[in-house]
Amino acid sequence: MSWDPAQYGLFLDQRTRPAADLLAHIRLEAPARIADLGCGPGNSTALLAKRWPKAAITGIDSSQAMLEKARESAPDIDWQCADIAQWRADPPFALIYSNALLHWLDNHAVLFPRLLSSVAKGGALAVQMPRNFDAPSHRIIAAVAQSAPFRAKLSGRLREAPVADPDYYYQLLAADCHLIDMWETSYLHVLEGEDAVLNWIKGTALVPLLAALDAGEQNDFICELAARLAAAYPRREDGKTLLPFKRLFFIAYR
C-alpha cells in the first residue's frame, strides 16, 4: 500500500484527537524509552515528545513517505521503517504506544502478546483501534467493491472486521498484566469540505483498494462511492458533515 501524507493530513486534527485521549490516560511518570508504532506523519509522536521531553522516542512505520513527512517536523526523533507485523523490541521499551495502526494487522492472538513481551516490567502497552467496521461507510465500500465492475480485483482485498470485542483483548493480555484500563468512545467527527467522508476514507480505508485499480477504475470507483456516501452522510446547510466513529482503547500495564 502507498500511503499519502497529504491525503491523510486533510483531517489531521480530527485524527490526532484519539491519540491525545489515549495519551492522557497513561499512568506512567517518566518512561525512559518509548516506541510509537504506526507513527505516520509524526502527529502522535509529537504528543509523546511534548509530555515526556527527556524520553528516548522511536517512531516506527512501514511507509517511507509518512516517515519523510515526520522527519521534516522532528529531525531529532529516531524514525525507523519496519514491518510491525514482525517487529520485536530488544531491549524492551517502557511504553509501546500505537494509535490507529494495529487493526491493519492480522492474527491478533499472536500479535498482541508479542507486543506486550516487548514492554519492560512496570511499563505499558497503549493501543487505540477503530471499531466502526459495521458503519455505513464500510458497508458502502464493501457493496461497491463487490459490484460487477470491481469484484474481480477487489473482493479478495475486503477484510472481515479486524478488531474483536474488548473482552478478547483483555483475555489475551490479563495474565501478564497487573492492570488493564479499557474503554470505548464514539466520536462525532465534524468534517468540513465537499465529499468529506470520501476524503476521510481515501486517507485510510480505501488505500489498499485503490492500489489494486488502474487510474480509470479508480475514478469510476470513487464516483460510485461519492454518490452513495453523500446519501448516507448528507452535508449540512452550514457545510459540515458529521461522521460517527467508534474506537476501542486499552492500556495494559506489565
Tell me: cis bond preceding 18? Omega within 30 of 0 counts. Answer: no
Confidence at residue 170, expressed as pLDDT on a 0 to 100 scale: 98
Q: What angle do CA 196, 197, 201 make, to 5 degrees?
A: 120
pLDDT of residue 118: 97
- pLDDT of 3-29, one tens digit each? 777 787 788 889 999 999 999 999 999
Q: Which domains does the chain have, with CATH numbers?
A: 5-253 (3.40.50.150)
Cell numbers 509501546 correspond to 96
Looking at 3-7, 103-107, 109-113, 155-159, which range is the least confident one?
3-7
Res 2 pLDDT > 90: no
Predicted structure pTM score:
0.93
Reported as a single tens digit per residue, the pLDDT across 172-218 is 999 999 999 999 999 999 999 999 999 999 989 999 999 999 999 99
